[in-house]
Amino acid sequence: MDKVHNQVLLVTGGGRGIGAATARLAAQQGWTVAVNYAANSLAADEVVRSIRAAGGTAMAVQADVADEEQVLAMFRRIDAKLGPLGGLVNNAGVVDVSARVDEMSMTRWRRMFDINVLGSMLCAREAVRRMSTRHGGAGGSIVNLSSAASRLGSPGQYVDYAAAKGAIDAFTIGLAKEVAAEGIRVNAVRPGLIDTEIHASGGLPDRVRDLQHLVPMQRGGTADEVAQAIVWLLSPAASYTTMSLLDVSGGR
């Protein structure tokens, strides 16, 4: 994988799971990493500490991606402390407890879409304003985190989450076309069953073990395996790749 040199990358939700793995791997590949977190400063600080211990450069930045003022403040801090943005990984996201659609509340849906969709769009907007050659930028790369759920629908569990990730797929395609001539590549990674903390937050801590028999590879994936795909899409090695939806799902 081609390394970058002192380019600034923002990873939202970078304190745990796929975000943390991506932040660490990106730092190994030469990125200066802003590790975003909403509330868990200790987890984000630990990721930053591990990056610095390995010789990389990173800082933690707080913002709830669903709050526009917090996001604007986060981008201003990155501008001031780290320099021009070269990459964005829209990783911050949530699930909720398993439920049928006829059991779900409007409050749940608003949270699901505010964080998973509008938060990603908001961060992408601010990244484009900084990276697009139309705005005087030097170009860059955006990787959105979608999910295999956007293809599978997650019936009986997370139809709202699947719908939010379907919106991310459409957003990725449209934005990629919109900014392709302005030096920005936009892609998405669609993880399948990945062994991270997100399943426990949805009330199903054993979900990967329980469903891995449905995966052709007969196992769940790891956060590090997803991070490899994300960091490749960010890198110069993917210089002719945009508008791609890359499945990292073991064949599911």
- Domains located in the chain, CATH noted: 8-248 (3.40.50.720)
Q: Averaged over 111-126, what is the pLDDT?
A: 98
User: Which pLDDT band holds residue 252 (cuts at 50, 70, 90)?
Assistant: confident
pTM score, whole prediction? 0.94
The pLDDT of residue 202: 61
Q: Averaged over 153-172, what is the pLDDT?
A: 97
pLDDT digit string (tens) for 4-58? 777 999 999 999 999 999 999 999 999 999 999 999 999 999 999 999 999 999 9
The pLDDT of residue 198: 62
CA 160 – CA 170 distance, rounded (Å) = 15
> Cα–Cα distances in Å, from 236 out to 8, 106, 108, 119, 231?
14, 42, 39, 26, 10
Whether residue 236 is predicted with pLDDT greater than 90 in this model: the reply is yes
The pLDDT of residue 136: 98
Q: Return the SS3 of 92.
A: coil
- Average pLDDT, whole number, for the chain? 94
Count of alpha carbons within 13 angstroms of residue 154, beta-carbon side? 25
Active-site positions read 161
**H runs (alpha helix) in the chain:** 17-28, 41-53, 68-81, 106-113, 119-131, 149-152, 159-179, 198-201, 207-211, 223-234
Q: Averaged over 78-102, what is the pLDDT?
A: 97
128 CB contacts (<8 Å, ≥6 apart)? 135, 142, 175, 179, 182, 184
pLDDT digit string (tens) for 201-228? 566 667 777 788 888 888 889 999 999 9
